[in-house]
Amino acid sequence: MKALVTGGSGFIGSHLVDILLASGDEVVVLDRIPERYRQPMTEVDYRFGQFSDPFILAESLVDVDIVYHLASTTVPSTSNLDPAGDVQDNLVGTLRLLDQMMKSRVRRIVFLSSGGTVYGMPAKIPIPEDHMLRPLCSYGVVKVAIEDYLHMYQKLYGLSPVILRPSNPFGPRQGHLGVQGLIATLLYKALKGNPFVIWGDGSVVRDYLYIDDLVRLIRLAGCSDAEGTFNAGSGFGYSVNEVIAVIGEVMDVTPAVKYEAGRSFDIREVILDISKARVAFGWTPETSLRDGIRKQWLWMKANAQSLDDPRSPEKQ
């Protein structure tokens, strides 16, 4: 199978490329820049540029069987700063991708939406896929709009979409600038001997999913005949304070923590119901929070120099 991975140089994308190659797939990566933490792989066909560029898209889609659409130019915490730019880059860019897929007769797509933003303030926990969608940030609004367009292209043009809504993925190669990825940010502060700065009292609860479990689900979804929307999480919730405690256990220290005023846009609790994905794909998360944090910590210590390399921009 030949796969195009948009955003394949990023955190999730680079791990997805690994599992696709290990499975014998041919891989094309379309991204703005190369990977930050390792050299380009000779087995991968890299195309660098904007995924909305019709010429690059046409070239990248030649003989492709499936598209894994992971590219995004925004993150939840910054998307409201420029909603128009978010719409132009991510929504309009995705529509151009879909149009080019139709021209290239590529029907299968796996889209990474967001399990942390599309639901907004949850009415029930754990959150099922049929929960009302009421996002509180532009990032989530755009993800929902893309989901709607995928359904439209399915009905009108025969597109075959699978939509995955991941919770909070973490693991090696994740960025650490504090705009996305609590665990990576805290581990980096620990590596530098700096205190942890937490918004609020640390009681906010999130669902954390180790990267290997996420990309395994992405590939299973892509190789299946399934269509529709599926949550992708661990099914368990951990407060920020509980995450800090696990980090302390892994490092065998008591981290210094500084609590700041809470943020109005932080939703108090997000835990995803993953029973639908379990049944559809025979998938279940295998890596515990503690084991995942230990793996990420070991990777960060082994790659401390590259974490501070100013020559490569941060990539989430």
Catalytic residues: 139
What gap in Å lies between CA 8 and CA 226, rounded to an integer? 23
Q: Within the chain, where are the H helices? A: 11-22, 54-60, 83-86, 93-103, 138-157, 182-192, 211-223, 240-251, 275-281, 289-302, 304-307
What gap in Å lies between CA 2 and CA 64, rounded to an integer? 5
CA 274 remoteness from chain centre: 16
Q: Is the peptide bond before 122 cis (omega within 30 degrees of 0)?
A: no
> Which residues is 198 bridged to in the sheet?
259
Write the CB contacts of 50 (distance below 8 Å, at least 6 apart in sequence): 32, 56, 93
On whether the CB atoms of residues 277 and 230 are closer than 8 A, the answer is yes
| Strand 196-199 versus strand 168-170 pairing type | unpaired
Give the pair of three-digit tokens for residue 300: 């960060």
What gap in Å lies between CA 79 and CA 87, rounded to an integer? 10
3-class state of residue 170 by DSSP: strand
